[in-house]
Amino acid sequence: MNLTQLTDKLNAVEEYERERVPERKLRSSKSFLGLYAGEHTAGTEFVIGPLFVAHGVSAGDLVLGLLVGNVLAVLSWAFLCAPIAVKERITLYYKLEKICGPRLTKVYNLVNALMFCFLAGSMIAVSATAVGIPFNLPLPTLQDILPNSALWIGIVLVVGLVTTIIAMLGYDLVSYVANLAAPWLFLVFVAAAVAVLPEAGVTSIGDFWSVANDKIWTGVPLEGQSKFTFWHVMFFSWFCNMAMHIGMADMSVLRYARSWKAGFTSGAGMLLGHYIAWGASGILYAIFLQQAANKLEFSPGPVAYYAAGLAGVICVVIAGWTTANPTIYRAGLALQSWYPKWKTWKITLLVGLITTSAAMFPALVMRLLDFVALYGLLLMPMGAIIFSDVYLLPRLGLSEEYARKKGLYINWAAGLTWVLTLAFCLVLNWVFGIEIFFLGLPGWFVAVGLYLVMSKVFQSSKAKVSHTVDVI
């Protein structure tokens, strides 16, 4: 395929950014089953599982916290995000434009795209630790912020380029890659963990729980790491994808579903990835710490290679891709409003360049738990606004999609709700010392309440609102 043919193929990709998905493009739940299993049995699992070990989660808190949190996450996809996605069949970004107005949506899209870029960048970094094994890549540590070698930068560039090209080719290829990779990724995770358990002293099933408490999830954090409890695990596993379900970002994916019940397919990712794979990667990291005398290197690639050989290396590389690919795809959709005349693949290329640049900084991975929590928190109020606009405003006799109906640049009810909700969460964190993992739940209810009140105020006959729309 020459350059002209490739360009023609890219230009032919149609993602329905500003229209409903046609009936002929709808997909069965099987398509989403593979997508969710692949995306959530992926690169982040090689980071989050070990970070739970580093933060001193006990075995009991991990098992119970993951169970409750992941069930709540699946219910959030199934009952909050999927019904709206199937009802509207448009992207999150187009829906927000109708509700919030084009200017506010562009601000949101920029924040959203940057968060997606940073998340995808962390996964490119995960893959790079595996690609760098033959080159004796000096690995970053939990304390590193800046790139630690030119070799690291070069490998990240190569991995980022490949990942971006796959994302540029559109949703169909992203879904295909996820379906192809998901089954054996999970098997490698489990096989690698089982293979190293004898080194921890597990010789039978009956040995596992005592070893898990004494040598893996000991309840004692590593030096410089805070202590995590059941509540940290539960709320993190529920809200680590808050931007996707409660924040409604997966409207852009689930709009292709034939039924809202496709939201339940997220359970494949939660069970295989956010339960079993987090546990498996935690086991691998705990064994690595024992072998490496508690050196604080960030080493998904070498850890997987030690446990599963070449299959482990390939698993880490593909795992990073299966998370980064749909994330870059989503970021491209988010930026489309800034460059509406650009084809989607050109936007995705720009996103890939930003993502790859971010991947060079190890701090993005080392603070992944905090970053994921912050990311979800920043975008959560807009999910609450969409929920309120679809379900609550009509019941209160208020207009939904107010910006579209009135020709507003900015729906100030939505803008103030976003800002004031985040200010409320900031006060809880700074003044009352409530950790970021716990802010999403009260924040969502505050956002819903604020939006209803603000909508009542701005839609009342007494409110003076300019209905002038400029050309964007």
| Residue 444 CB neighbour total at 10 angstroms | 22
Of the candidates 54, 41, 25, which has an alpha carbon nearest to the alpha carbon of residue 181? 41
| Distance of alpha carbon 336 from alpha carbon 347, whole angstroms | 7
Q: Which amino acid is at 457?
A: V
**Six-digit token string for 338:** 């800034």
* Cα dihedral 398, 404, 406, 409 sign: positive
Q: How far is CA 199 from CA 186, 190, 204, 352, in A?
A: 21, 15, 12, 40
Closest CA to 163 of 326, 362, 330, 32: 326
Residue 240 to residue 393: CA distance in whole angstroms: 28
DSSP 8-state class, residue 166: H
Residues with Cβ within 8 Å of residue 72, at least 6 apart in sequence: 234, 238
Neighbours of 467 (CB within 10 A): 9
For 23-377, the fitting CATH number among 1.10.4160.10, 1.10.3720.10, 3.40.640.10, 3.30.365.10 is 1.10.4160.10
Measured between alpha carbons, how far is 147 from 136 in angstroms, rounded to an integer?
15
Tokens of 15: 């993602």
Q: How confident is the prediction along the chain (472 residues), in pLDDT tens digits per residue?
A: 555 655 555 555 556 667 788 788 888 888 888 778 877 877 678 788 988 998 999 999 999 999 999 999 999 999 999 999 999 999 888 899 999 999 999 999 888 888 888 888 888 888 888 888 888 777 777 677 788 788 888 989 988 888 788 777 765 665 666 566 666 777 887 888 888 899 888 888 889 999 999 999 999 998 778 899 999 999 999 999 999 999 998 998 899 999 999 999 999 989 988 999 899 989 988 888 877 655 666 677 887 787 778 878 887 887 777 777 777 877 777 777 687 777 777 888 888 888 899 888 887 777 888 888 999 999 999 999 999 999 999 999 999 999 999 999 999 999 999 999 999 999 999 999 999 999 999 999 999 999 999 999 999 854 554 444 433 3
